[in-house]
Amino acid sequence: MSKSKMLNDAENVHGKVRDGYSEIAKSSGSCCGADRKCSDDLVQQIGYGAEELSVVPEGANMGLSCGNPTAIASLKPGEIVLDLGSGGGFDVFIAGSKVGPTGRAIGVDMTPEMLSKARRNTDSYRQQTGLDNVEFRLGEIEHLPVADASVDVVISNCVINLSPDKPQVWREMARVLKPGGRAAVSDLALLKPLPAAVREMVEALVGCVAGAVLVEETEQMMREAGLMDIQIVSKADYVQAKADWNDSLYRKIMEHLPAGAEPRDYITSLAVTARKPVK
């Protein structure tokens, strides 16, 4: 494939994702629709505790999570944390409360509407916690607006699958991490290839499914980026929860699967951790 064709394809994917998440931000809805209880139930089922949720401003939880990267990151006071694809700021606010007044949590998102929403939520976070340690930057996760070797931990929640250039995302993560720094990612991955009809669905792309890659591909990309101590744990609870709640996207996916097949036969949530070597 020519370089210009690859660039055009990447821009097309970015445009579809940006449009989709712009609509979510503007509608004040979520992957659960406008039902906040649905969003709260989902994140509690996939690993968030009530204490973590207590610091999250109204509207920041948009039901866009597929795991809890702040938990698997084992965040410590004083650390600098970077969240890729930070949306309304959900994980940034939780990370900020964990790293405390001597730490900092930075969110990067390419959708201006999401960035505006996160920045509006910041005032509420400050009032609730008394902390002034979060910020949000406009940018793409393939080209992070962050200096080399400047963060202790990179987290991401159901976002890397949206990228048209996933190897570049992992390279960027390795670039911005300090030597010995950690990556903690929750993401969707495939147990086996999706049918072509599902891969071509725009809804499945925005819903983090059509862009997902095989589990083994994720590990290969991480190793090629120079990360080590890689641990990948498959968690089926997220996909099962979506199916149990009759999620609209998963209903559409099921319509395009072979008879008798279910989304969980193809899709899983991953909890991924790794470390940048100390030179």
Three-state SS string over 68-100 comes to CHHHHCCCCCCCEEEEECCCCCHHHHHHHHHHC
Q: Are 161 and 194 in contact (CB under 8 A)?
A: no
Tell me the two tokens of residue 166: 């996933």
Determine whether 3 is exposed, middle or buried from the number of CB atoms within 10 Å of its CB (0-12, 13-18, 19+).
exposed
Structural domain count of the chain? 1
Give the structural domain span for 208: 3-275
Tell me the two tokens of residue 233: 């744990």
Q: How far is CA 198 from CA 15, 141, 169, 231, in A?
A: 19, 25, 24, 28
> Residue 140's domain is classified under what CATH number?
3.40.50.150
Looking at beta carbons, which pairs linking 202-206 to residues 24 or more positions away fall under 8 Å?
202/16, 202/20, 203/249, 203/252, 204/249, 204/252, 204/253, 205/13, 205/16, 205/17, 205/20, 205/162, 206/16, 206/17, 206/20, 206/21, 206/162
Give every CB contact of residue 190 below 8 A, 6+ residues apart in sequence.
Answer: 212, 213, 214, 215, 266, 267, 268
pLDDT per residue of the chain (279 residues) written in tens, 0 to 9: 444 443 445 566 566 555 555 555 455 544 433 344 445 666 766 667 888 888 988 877 766 677 889 999 999 999 999 999 998 999 999 999 999 999 999 999 988 888 999 999 999 999 999 999 999 999 999 999 999 999 999 999 988 988 889 999 999 999 999 999 999 999 888 888 877 777 666 454 444 565 778 889 999 999 999 999 999 998 876 776 666 666 666 667 777 777 877 778 888 889 999 999 997
- Nearest-CA neighbor of 160 among 137, 140, 176, 180? 140
Q: What pTM was estimated for this model as a whole?
A: 0.84
